């Protein structure tokens, strides 16, 4: 079984040209350093080289937890977690000039050098692969992910599916969008605009990425641009782009090679270029879909953790690590840059907030843009810190940073939380807190009636040093649920659940929360959250396998998507659908299940909720299974029924068609893949047309 899965995983690997060039560059740089043993080894470059090699060999898997001390690395003494339990608005300070910002960054850089690069928290974000090449994103209101558009426009009468957004009214970016009249597809860094045309889509225009990257000797030269994801708001289209200037990166690495070290206990975003990459939001007027007009391109140096759109307001959450030497007289050496078209400026000192003692020379920045009038950023709020996942509703943004704390040779997972208020584009840092354990993803967080709810898994590791021999002993994992108020103070909790298991999925629905832990069987916990100070476990259901994703499916039903496993050995046996009867929260039961068998071991939807289509009104459940697309319906009497098994081309699936999406417009169902777009009649799912991007 392992050999089969290993072979399947390796067949999915398709390194981009930039990945290979990046790996080649780093290898050559390492070889050059060996020739001059006196030259200092730059930590971030060597770490990125290892990471890029892992990408090429293993594919783009999330390796975050394998890089942190909780998986057996022994942390350096004194590498404690940053910040306090909570910081009020009064405690947070915005400097009038950069002098205090510089002083704090300088102190953090000195601590990094003292630590010598042995302790850090590496962040792999859904939007950025380990080699710096972007991937489509994965970070709980009842949203059916289908039926109707959140935008105003001429296609309001159309019936079509939306991206599977976590929170109703808050749009998430994706590689495919439709407004009922048109289809917008991100393909290999480019974007196609198509007329939907009743199942016979017509390409109207194409926006191509800029790619001038070449390999010259030991260097990578040029600019690499990748259009990663899309937002649509009426006659505005926003393209989320990753831009890397390899020329500037090479120069900076040469200048900084003698000076940089690892952060003491913060986070670093892997991938070239460390300090000279930027994510931008390119805003287009698409009134004429045949001739999209670029209105402006706004961005910031660093890495985009995630983004959300509320109405016409786009919120961007960035992380930026300060590379190289810093110069007090030159804020650009220690402050993130903002980009407005070709113009570049530094984040204003008054927009930077100093909170406690951060763990690294790293910024967390939240910016907002009115896509209707994108001449400039509406607001920017920056703090010293970083993040890994976000939760966002129409009024609140919470950024979570998975980190840890060490005391008396005991390391414990911890998640720091930064709460921002959002109002018509104004971004205000409100409070800061922390909870024990690490957060799995955005669905492990939720805000309801002024209270923030979060579920975490905690590892506790004891470190020993006897006779010069270091060793570690890890306790069984434990799981927690916490309820916090608007000041990020814990007001209620349920702790130490399911020892030895880890949280695999979660969903909050009003006063009720559901989460799944797993070791060999799948306990589904149901929690009453109606009294925030006294959350209560209502039921615990154990079934074989586990659900990676939970989604409401009408009244009294909860859909689980995941994998089945052997109850004795825990061996994975293929994909699984579960329907849970939640009509009685105290007696939740698995009403029906569907096992897809060992032929279908993997799905892109396991780690990316946007790959799942759930529409209870149309009775549709769609998801990729290996490189095919499955569509099911559900009946409370007879359970799941497969209604279609789709591939891009009639003669079978393509070798690399794994990043699939399904969506509908009226009575036409579309299958998107990196290779093309296929249309099917929803009456019998007969094929209407197939369009290949390369043709």
pLDDT in the model for residue 53: 32
pLDDT at position 90 over 50: no
Whether 369 contacts 287, CB under 8 Å: no
pLDDT band at 112 (very low <50, low <70, confident <90, very high): confident
pLDDT band at 268 (very low <50, low <70, confident <90, very high): very low
Q: Is residue 453 part of a domain?
A: no
| Pair of tokens at residue 644 | 């279609």
CB-facing half-sphere around the CA of 693: CA atoms within 13 A: 21
DSSP β-bridge partners for residue 343 = 340
Answering whether pTM is above 0.85, one says no
**Residue 328 burial by Cβ neighbours in a 10 Å radius (0-12, 13-18, 19+):** middle
pLDDT band at 258 (very low <50, low <70, confident <90, very high): very low
pLDDT band at 10 (very low <50, low <70, confident <90, very high): very low
Pick the most confident of 83-97, 304-318, 322-336: 304-318
- Strand 267-269 to strand 121-123: parallel, antiparallel, or no bridges (unpaired)? parallel
Q: Is residue 536 part of a domain?
A: no
CA atoms of 509 and 532, how far apart (whole Å): 14
Q: Is residue 601 part of a domain?
A: no
Q: Is residue 615 part of a domain?
A: yes
pLDDT at position 456 over 60: yes
SS3 647: coil
Outline where 352-420 has alpha helix (H). none
Pick the most confident of 65-74, 522-531, 661-670: 661-670
CA atoms of 65 and 264, how far apart (whole Å): 18
Q: What is the pLDDT of residues 608-635, one digit of tens each?
A: 999 999 999 999 999 999 889 999 999 9
SS3 142: coil
* Number of independent structural domains in the chain: 2
Q: What is the pLDDT of residues 51-70, one digit of tens each?
A: 333 332 222 222 233 223 33
Percentage of the residues of the chain whose pLDDT score is greater than 90: 61
Percentage of the residues of the chain whose pLDDT score is greater than 70: 74
pLDDT at position 38 over 80: no
pLDDT at position 670 over 50: yes
Closest by CA position to 379, among listed 387, 369, 371 = 369
pLDDT band at 129 (very low <50, low <70, confident <90, very high): very low
CA atoms of 357 and 373, how far apart (whole Å): 37
Q: Determine how many CB atoms are found less than 10 A away from the CB of residue 99.
A: 11
111 or 396, which is more confident?
396
64 or 285, which is more confident?
285
CA atoms of 583 and 556, how far apart (whole Å): 4
Pick the most confident of 50-54, 143-147, 309-313: 309-313
Q: Is residue 74 part of a domain?
A: no
Cβ contacts of residue 285 below 8 Å, gap of 6+?
235, 236, 292, 293, 295
Sole residue written with tokens 């975050």 = 64
Q: Is residue 672 part of a domain?
A: yes
**Residue 114 — φ and ψ, nearest 5°?**
-65, -35
Question: Which of 317, 352, 386 is the endpoint of a domain?
Answer: 386
Q: What share of the chain is helix, strand, coil (3-state, %, to 5)?
A: 15, 45, 40
pLDDT in the model for residue 63: 27
Question: Which of 345, 368, 386 is the endpoint of a domain?
Answer: 386
pLDDT in the model for residue 617: 96
pLDDT band at 600 (very low <50, low <70, confident <90, very high): confident
pLDDT in the model for residue 114: 82
CA atoms of 623 and 493, how far apart (whole Å): 34
Whether 194 contacts 206, CB under 8 Å: no
CA atoms of 114 and 76, how far apart (whole Å): 11
Question: Which of 386, 404, 427 is the endpoint of a domain?
Answer: 386
pLDDT in the model for residue 654: 63
pLDDT in the model for residue 627: 87
pLDDT at position 650 over 90: no
- CATH code, 645: 2.40.10
Q: What is the pLDDT of residues 338-378, one digit of tens each?
A: 999 989 999 999 999 988 777 789 999 999 999 999 999 99
Enclosing domain of residue 661? 608-694
Q: Is residue 577 part of a domain?
A: no
**What's the chain's average pLDDT?**
80
pLDDT in the model for residue 459: 95
pLDDT band at 248 (very low <50, low <70, confident <90, very high): low
Q: Is residue 30 part of a domain?
A: no
Quickly list DSSP for 121-141: EEE--TTB-TTS-B-------
Sole residue written with tokens 């898994």 = 457
């Amino acid at each position: 079984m392992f050999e089969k899965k290993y072979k399947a995983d390796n067949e999915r690997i398709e390194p981009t040209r930039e990945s290979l060039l990046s790996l080649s560059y780093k290898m050559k740089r390492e070889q050059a350093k060996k020739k001059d043993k006196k030259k200092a080894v730059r930590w971030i470059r060597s770490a990125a080289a290892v990471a890029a090699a892992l990408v090429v060999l293993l594919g783009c898997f999330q390796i975050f937890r394998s890089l942190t001390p909780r998986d057996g690395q022994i942390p350096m003494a004194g590498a404690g977690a940053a910040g306090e339990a909570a910081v009020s608005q009064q405690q947070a300070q915005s400097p009038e000039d950069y002098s205090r910002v510089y002083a704090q960054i300088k102190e953090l850089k000195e601590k990094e050098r003292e630590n010598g690069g042995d302790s850090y928290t590496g962040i792999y974000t859904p939007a950025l692969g380990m080699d710096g090449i972007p991937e489509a994103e994965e970070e709980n209101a009842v949203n059916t992910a289908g039926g109707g558009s959140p935008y105003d426009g001429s296609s309001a009468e159309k019936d079509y599916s939306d991206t599977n957004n976590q929170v109703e009214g808050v749009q998430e970016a994706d590689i495919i969008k439709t407004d009922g009249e048109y289809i917008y597809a991100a393909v290999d860094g480019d974007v196609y605009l198509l007329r939907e045309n009743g199942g016979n889509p017509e390409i109207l225009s194409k926006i191509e990425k800029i790619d001038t990257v070449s390999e010259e000797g030991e260097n990578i030269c040029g600019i690499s641009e990748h259009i990663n994801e899309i937002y649509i708001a009426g006659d505005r289209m926003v393209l989320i782009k990753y831009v890397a200037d390899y020329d500037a990166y090479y120069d900076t690495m040469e200048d900084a090679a003698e000076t940089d070290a690892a952060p003491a206990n913060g986070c670093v975003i892997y991938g070239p270029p460390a300090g000279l990459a930027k994510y931008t939001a390119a805003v287009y007027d698409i009134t004429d879909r045949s001739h999209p007009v670029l209105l402006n391109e706004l961005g910031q140096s660093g890495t985009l953790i995630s983004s959300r759109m509320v109405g016409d307001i786009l919120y961007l959450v960035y992380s930026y690590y300060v590379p190289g030497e810093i110069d007090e007289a030159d804020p650009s050496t220690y402050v993130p840059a903002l980009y407005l078209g070709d113009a570049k400026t530094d984040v204003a000192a008054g927009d930077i907030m100093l909170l406690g003692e951060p763990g690294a020379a790293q910024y967390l920045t939240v910016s907002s843009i009115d896509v209707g009038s994108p001449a400039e950023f509406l607001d920017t709020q920056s703090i010293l810190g970083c993040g890994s996942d976000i939760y966002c509703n129409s009024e609140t943004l919470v950024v979570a940073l998975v980190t840890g704390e060490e005391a008396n040779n005991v390391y414990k997972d911890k998640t720091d939380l930064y709460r921002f208020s959002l109002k018509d584009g104004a971004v205000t840092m409100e409070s800061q807190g922390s909870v024990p354990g690490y957060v799995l993803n955005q669905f492990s967080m939720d805000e309801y009636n002024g209270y923030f709810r979060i579920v975490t898994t905690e590892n506790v590791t004891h470190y020993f040093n006897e006779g010069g021999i270091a060793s570690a002993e890890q306790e069984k994992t434990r799981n927690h649920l916490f309820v916090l108020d608007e000041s990020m103070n814990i007001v209620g909790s349920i702790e130490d659940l399911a020892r030895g298991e880890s949280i695999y999925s979660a969903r909050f629905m009003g006063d009720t929360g559901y989460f799944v832990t797993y070791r060999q069987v799948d306990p589904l916990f149901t929690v009453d959250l109606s009294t925030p100070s006294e959350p209560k476990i209502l039921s615990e259901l154990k079934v074989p396998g586990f659900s990676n994703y939970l989604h409401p499916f009408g009244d009294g039903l909860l859909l689980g998507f995941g994998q089945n496993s052997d109850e004795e050995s825990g061996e994975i046996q293929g994909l699984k659908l579960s329907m849970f009867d939640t009509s009685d929260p105290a007696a939740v039961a698995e009403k029906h299940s569907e096992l897809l068998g060992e032929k279908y071991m993997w799905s892109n939807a396991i780690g990316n909720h946007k790959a799942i289509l759930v529409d209870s009104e149309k009775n549709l459940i769609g998801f990729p299974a290996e490189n095919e697309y499955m569509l099911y319906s559900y009946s409370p009497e007879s359970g799941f029924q497969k209604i279609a098994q789709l591939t891009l081309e009639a003669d079978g699936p393509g070798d690399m068609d794994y990043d699939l999406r399904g969506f509908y417009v009226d009575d036409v169902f579309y299958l998107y893949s990196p290779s093309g777009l296929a249309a099917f009649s929803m009456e019998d799912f007969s094929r209407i047309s197939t369009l290949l991007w390369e043709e």
